Amino acid sequence: MFSLDQLSPTITDMIRFDHSHVMVTFHQYTKDKSPAVKKALADTICTALEIHATLEEEVFYPVMRELDKGEPFVHKAEPEHNEMRRQIAELRRTSASDPRHDKVLLELMRDVIHHVADEETTLLPQAETLMSKARLSELGSQMTRRRMELIAPKAGKLAKSHAVGFSGSTTAMVVGVASALLALRGLVRKPGVEAKKTGGWANAGSTPHGS
């Protein structure tokens, strides 16, 4: 029987998309940007990371722990998420006009890039080996539904942060708005069209522009 789950991107493709979305935003953060733009970009990054971490912890990691209890990364992933949350809280307390704002943001992103490199080179390929495409798509559908619940109360703030953060960069603004719309729509693709796998953060340079 036909199922809407069959139209959903796989959970691993959705995770890779999240990685790339945050990296596009991070690449707009340069030291010469105004405090208002810096704060908008930081807010976009922080909210995206919080939602992404919650989705992984609720939907993806429990399944992976059941499939392979001996996999070390899945057991250290949540403590790394908690450290990320600590850094996010500090970033939000820091004024964007304070030089420390740049420092905290860069420290957060260094840890995130390391975490994602492990995930994209270890956990995601492992999931695609251990689970069928149908199961990966089913989990992707579950993640989409939960994402909608998490995004709904933040939709207005997310749209405003995108508009301010990507102002003055036409190409980046288009990419940013498209990313936001795809996230809000759950990344549903047309039947028969594979979601393109991006390299994600694991293939991105760790040194931001202007740093």
* Residue 176 resides in a domain: yes
Average confidence score pLDDT of the chain: 81
Q: Is residue 210 part of a domain?
A: no
Is the pLDDT score of 208 beyond 50? no
| Per-residue model confidence (pLDDT) at position 1 | 44
Q: Name, in order, each residue with C-beta under 8 angstroms of 102's C-beta and a sequence gap of 6 or more.
A: 31, 38, 211
Supply the pLDDT for residue 34. Answer: 94
Q: Is the pLDDT of residue 211 over 50?
A: no
Q: Is residue 182 part of a domain?
A: yes
Mean pLDDT of 154-166: 76
Q: Residue 206: its pLDDT value, please?
A: 40
The reported pTM is: 0.76
**Placement of tokens 């059941």 in the chain:** 66
- Once rounded to an integer, what is the mean pLDDT over residues 163-184? 55
pLDDT band of residue 120 (cuts 50, 70, 90) is very high
Q: Is residue 211 part of a domain?
A: no
Count of structural domains within the chain: 1
Query: Is 208 part of a structural domain of the chain?
Result: no
Cβ within 8 Å of residue 73, ≥6 positions away: 118, 119, 122, 123
**Binning pLDDT at 50, 70 and 90, where does residue 185 land?**
very low
Q: What CATH number did the domain enclosing 70 receive?
A: 1.20.120
In a domain, 96, yes or no: yes
pLDDT at 111 over 80: yes
**pLDDT beyond 70 at 103:** yes
Task: Give the integer Cα–Cα distance in Å for 25 and 40.
Answer: 10
> What is the rounded CA–CA span in Å between residue 36 and residue 92?
13
**pLDDT of 170 over the 70 cut:** no
